[in-house]
Amino acid sequence: MASRTDTKTRILDAAEKLFAERGFSETSLRLITSKAEVNLASVNYHFGSKKELIRAVLARYLDVFMPSASIEINRLHLAPEHASLNEIFSALIKPLLELNKVRNGGTIIFLQLLGRGYIESQGHLRWFITTHYGEHLATFVKAVAASAPHIPQAEMFWRLHFTLGTIVFTMASADALNEIAAADYGEHNNTEAIIRKVIPYMAAGVAVPVLTN
Amino acid sequence: MASRTDTKTRILDAAEKLFAERGFSETSLRLITSKAEVNLASVNYHFGSKKELIRAVLARYLDVFMPSASIEINRLHLAPEHASLNEIFSALIKPLLELNKVRNGGTIIFLQLLGRGYIESQGHLRWFITTHYGEHLATFVKAVAASAPHIPQAEMFWRLHFTLGTIVFTMASADALNEIAAADYGEHNNTEAIIRKVIPYMAAGVAVPVLTN
DNA sequence: GTCTATAGCCGGATAGAC
DNA sequence: GTCTATCCGGCTATAGAC
């Protein structure tokens, strides 16, 4: 009976929080191990290198989120003629919020990690996700395409990446934006409120007719 | 008659390109000065520190873009009842593309710097821009608000930041996305083509009615 | 204004005792 | 598995000659 958490888990827990807040390259192993209250050398013992620690942090979230998202999309897909874009995006809310049950602030940490990863890793993360979770992604992309059949495939490719940018940038800036919104408008939004604000924005953008000029 | 460019300018030119490609913290002064073919110590002589170099790089673009954008928006504003959101966003195309005349690839470099800056600087860039270019920003925000009067002010705050995220993330990933689009769909988009794709997406999202549930 | 040389620090990673 | 001690490379910044 352990009186404290596994060293490996302690490292992952401390690392994901710091990575999400500060970015990968701005977070040193020394900072991680001191917050985790473990020895500096234990990172290399358990993970081999900082790069592999980063992958382990991301995989721990993706392994929970991706299958869960897939299931929710497939549930809609049973009656595909009724699934609007808003419904498809909204189907991701539950898998996202369930990450909060896995760990405190899990939802926002996951989305921030995703954004940091895409921007810092020069394409490595995109490769990692499509090769490891490609089938789950395909489920999602197919559902979106079916509910917006007037959008050509190539255009949809761009719009889904616009969508990814919208949400990950928003989440990377969420703390700062929340502070401003509180000061200027008296609003107090949690992560779920922000997600619910951004979904109509993304759904409208994805579905807007292509200009024919 | 100088046979080569000013040292200060050579540093700025090399730095902005590397900052845009790799991010600020991933770009060392050693890399900048070797690409610029100037002495390492000259950065500190001309700019004082790396942080001030970053600000100088950003200011060189903002000083061109912001007044130019303001002028274009005001030109629309003479007949405000006719300015749709699409027209307002499209009015920024000319100022953005003029950055390409200032320097090769200026448009995309600027937008990538903006994205990197917002994400890496933990709010410092937001403060810098609003305090130094607040009046130009206000012109833009007022025009948008006038053309979408059904959106409450607080909601518009969020949507404009969604929009910022959409475009800067897209531009930060533009090279990778272009490669995929070329391989998968035979598309060959330049920066302008991407901007013209993203504007309808953003305009639709900003204007979509707020849910009343 | 430009150079060399170097100070001083912090980073990831590892050797080897326990 | 965990620890201390250390290597070694890269970083920003600066001193001081020219």
Q: Which residue has the tokens 């079916």?
A: A146
d(CA B171, CA B175) in angstroms, rounded, equals 8
Residue B69 contacts strand D, CB under 7 A: no
Q: Which residue has the tokens 């009067």?
A: B149
The residues, any chain, with a CB within 8 Å of residue A53's CB and separated by 6 or more, are: A11, A12, A15, A29, A32, A43, A47
Residues of A in contact with B169 (CB under 8 A): 115, 118-119, 164-166, 168-169
Residues of A in contact with B208 (CB under 8 A): 200-201, 203-204
HSE-CB for B148 with a 13 A CA cutoff: 27
DSSP letter at A108 equals: H
Decide if A119 contacts A113 (C-beta within 8 A). no
CA B17 to C1' C5 (Å) is 29
Q: What is the pLDDT of residues A114-130, one digit of tens each?
A: 999 999 988 899 999 99
Residue A2 main-chain phi, psi, to 5 deg = -80, 135
Q: What is the per-residue pLDDT for B123?
A: 86
d(CA B57, CA B65) in angstroms, rounded, equals 13
d(CA B148, CA A155) in angstroms, rounded, equals 26
Residue A142 contacts strand C, CB under 7 A: no
Decide if B40 contacts B29 (C-beta within 8 A). yes
- Spatial CA neighbour of B125 closest among B53, B54, B44: B54
3-state secondary structure of A5: coil
pLDDT in tens, chain B (213 residues): 455 899 999 999 999 999 999 999 999 999 999 999 999 999 999 999 999 999 999 999 999 999 999 999 999 967 656 789 999 999 999 999 999 999 999 999 999 999 999 999 888 999 999 999 999 999 999 999 999 999 999 999 999 999 999 999 999 999 999 999 999 999 999 999 999 999 999 999 999 999 876
CA distance to A50, A64, A110, B11, per residue, from A8 (Å): 13, 18, 19, 44
CA B102 to C1' D16 (Å) is 38
Q: How far is CA B212 from the centre of its chain?
A: 34
Q: Which CATH class is domain B58-207?
A: mainly alpha
d(CA A143, CA A139) in angstroms, rounded, equals 6
